[in-house]
Structure 1
Amino acid sequence: MSDLIELKFRLSDGTDIGPNKYDPSITVASLKESILARWPQGKENAPRVINDVKLINAGRILENNQTIAESRVPVSELPGGVITMHVVVRPPALDKNNEEPLAKVSNNNRCACTIL
């Protein structure tokens, strides 16, 4: 099938999950489930549920109920190319008695983008 879209998911530390090919009718929620299933073992801040994950494509946060076809941005399409989506993991819930987890997360999550 030439209709399949090739995607890879860039994690905050610069590593990737994928690339893999997906049907344009798959939902963003299904993509997030795939990311959870393929999350690298031993990585810090691993998401537990799909709502812990945000997918960003061309600066837009994708909604769970959208399909890939609905969420694609024309600028990101390259014939025969791989579309890279950024993965952001929601920090763990802050314990009101201990603010240390939030401090650790804010120091570790850094993202750098280069626009050429």
Structure 2
Amino acid sequence: MPEEDCLLDIKFRLYDGSDMGPFQYSSASTIDMLKQRVVSDWPKGKTVIPKTASEIKLIRSGKVLDNSRTVGQCKLPFGDVAGGGTVIMHVVVQPSSTKTKTEKKVDDSPRNVVCSCSIL
């Protein structure tokens, strides 16, 4: 049975508690499409700014949403937004680790460990 294509208002809650939206999406919209929108509409003046959609995770009801899935496939509870409600998705930004220069280098070299144990 095919899913019914309905429109859903989605608001994105950022790391500092501010919101983006609400924006209206079809249940056939992919999570990747939502991430692209978040990156393109990211508010100016924030301390953390995602450069690509791959730096963002969208979370709904404690679950990280998969890029290839549609809003409808994520089993968002459409029933609890009946009557004009808005779904809130939390946005987590994880900048790529390749550009962090202050990160300490981990020493992976083997070490000799001497253990002196006395048995009574």
Q: Secondary structure at the match of 2:72?
A: helix
Matched letter for residue 46 of structure 1: I
Q: Which segments of 5 or more consecutive residues in structure 2 lack a partner in the other structure?
A: 105-120
Alignment partner of 2:85 out of 68, 81, 90: 81
The offset of 1:44, in angstroms, is 1.3
Structure with larger Rg? 2
Confirm whether residue 44 of structure 1 aligns to residue 47 of structure 2. Answer: yes
Q: Which runs of 4+ in 1 moved over 6 A?
A: none
Distance 2:21 2:61 in 1: 18
Distance 1:41 1:71, change over 3 A: same
TM (normalized to structure 1)?
0.76
Confirm whether residue 98 of structure 1 aligns to residue 99 of structure 2. Answer: no
Q: Deviations over 1:13-60 (max 9, x none)?
A: 000010011011010000000001100011111111111000000001
Which residue pairs with 1:109 in the alignment?
A: none
Q: How do residues 1-116 of structure 1 correspond to structure 2 at under 5 angstroms?
A: 3-74=6-77, 77-79=80-82, 80-93=84-97, 98-99=102-103
- Percent identical across equivalent pairs? 36
Distance 1:24 1:94, change over 3 A: same
Q: When you count helix as a share of all residues, which structure comes out higher?
A: 1
Q: Secondary structure at the match of 1:68?
A: coil
Distance 2:99 2:24 in 1: 39
Distance 1:84 1:18 in 2: 10
The offset of 1:93, in angstroms, is 1.7
Distance 2:64 2:80 in 1: 17
Over aligned residues, Cα RMSD in angstroms? Answer: 2.3
The offset of 1:63, in angstroms, is 0.4
Distance 2:44 2:96 in 1: 18
TM (normalized to structure 2)?
0.73
Count of aligned pairs between the two proteins: 99
Distance 2:51 2:77 in 1: 31
